[in-house]
Amino acid sequence: MVSYDTVSGATMYGWASFNLTAMLDRLAGGVGLGGKVNCTDSANTVSTLANVVGCELWQSRMASNFQLNPMIAIGYSTSDHPMGWSPT
């Protein structure tokens, strides 16, 4: 199981490259690189696994320090503003 890093939103499984082996280990119940993920980790996982089965899925990266709408973060059950970032 993984959950969204609501403290810093840090990428745990790869910024410039993606550590698929560690993510698969974590998703299979192993240690991986830990249980925290962010949007980049999630996009990397979805696009990599989709492309493995023949899709041509791309992703892009957003800059830091942007405003977020309330959302239910991965691994949580209530809607909130992760890291306290909210629209002004």
Average pLDDT score, the chain: 86
β-bridge pairing 71-72 and 3-4: unpaired
d(CA 26, CA 79): 25
Region 7-12: mean pLDDT is 84
| Least reliable range by pLDDT among 19-23, 35-39, 60-64, 72-76 | 60-64
Instruction: Please determine, for residue 84, whether its predicted confidence score (pLDDT) is greater than 70.
Output: no
Percent of the chain with pLDDT over 70: 93
DSSP-assigned letters across all residues of 25-44? HHHTTS-TT-SEE-HHHHHH
Q: What tens digit of pLDDT does each residue of 17-59 get?
A: 899 999 999 999 999 999 999 888 999 999 999 999 999 999 8
